[in-house]
Amino acid sequence: MSDPVRTTRLPSGIDVPVLGLGTWNMGEDRRRHAEEVAALKLGLDLGMTLVDTAEMYGSGGAEEVVRDAIAGRRDAVFLVSKVLPSNASRAGTVRACEASLKRLGTDRIDLYLLHWRGGVPLAETVAAFEALKQAGKIRHWGVSNFDTEDMEELADAGGSGVETNQVLYNLSERGIEYDLLPEAAARGLSVMAYSPVGQGDLARDARIARIAARQNATAAQVALAFVLRKPDIIAIPKAVRPQHVRENRAALDIVLTDADLKELDAAFPPPRRKQRLAMI
């Protein structure tokens, strides 16, 4: 693991790590705060300098975990957070961003996402994002849980500045391979994959474990390596145990063979038709 974490380029030209740190379910129990901070610090030490969080996670608690993890090293971190759709009006987005900045202990968010679509017109949220950029409070903006039709509507709403779309993607949820991934690639848009190793089920899957044994890896590492096999996908797994953090980093060095991929396709068939975007 001596090599630096591979990067991908966002439409604005900025390079970001393809393997980052997720924080979903962090910040919910103050008794775990130190443990969670330590896990993020270890990930940063290992080169996973993209940190993903959201105002929703732990009702802001995850952002406070991130604050303590990045203290003293803010400039080395690419920080991602999200605004809830219920807060995504023109004024509400600005207020939510300012609250997130306070919890994060920073003066800017590198990438600010609309968490999912709500009732606020997209043009209004986009206008708020652009105003935040102009004010220097965010550097870039994007979306999350947007299907292909949503991306088309975003373009019509003046959303040409979108940098990424964060969606659910793993071996069990491959629907985006049919249309969303190809369309994003055609636009030069990287996709961020949340829950890239599922909710624990993939780590226990015997079919993946057989491949993992050949790779001298764990099933979770193979599942993560599958997501990372494409150069324009950013994976943001969450881990708290130090061993898990290190295993996630090592997954980046796994090269799945054609035989491995064929076996995974047999166990988890790729989509043959359009599927509704999966969300959790």
112 is an active site residue: no
**Residue 59 has which token pair?**
């009702």
Quick count: other Cβ atoms within 10 Å of Cβ 111? 24
Per-residue 3-state assignment (H helix, E strand, C coil) for 85-138: HHHCCHHHHHHHHHHHHHHHCCCCEEEEEECCCCCCCHHHHHHHHHHHHHCCCE
Q: Cβ(112)–Cβ(192) under 8 Å?
A: no
Q: Cβ(170)–Cβ(195) under 8 Å?
A: yes
Q: Cβ(51)–Cβ(192) under 8 Å?
A: no
Q: Cβ(237)–Cβ(227) under 8 Å?
A: no
**Residue 279 has which token pair?**
């969300």
| C-alpha–C-alpha distance, residues 246 and 132, integer Å | 35
User: Is 115 annotated in some ligand binding site?
Assistant: yes
**Residue 268 has which token pair?**
């988890």
Which among 57, 112, 169, 194 is annotated as catalytic? 57
Binding residues for substrate, by number, are 115
Give me the active site residues, please.
Answer: 57
Binding residues, by number, are 115
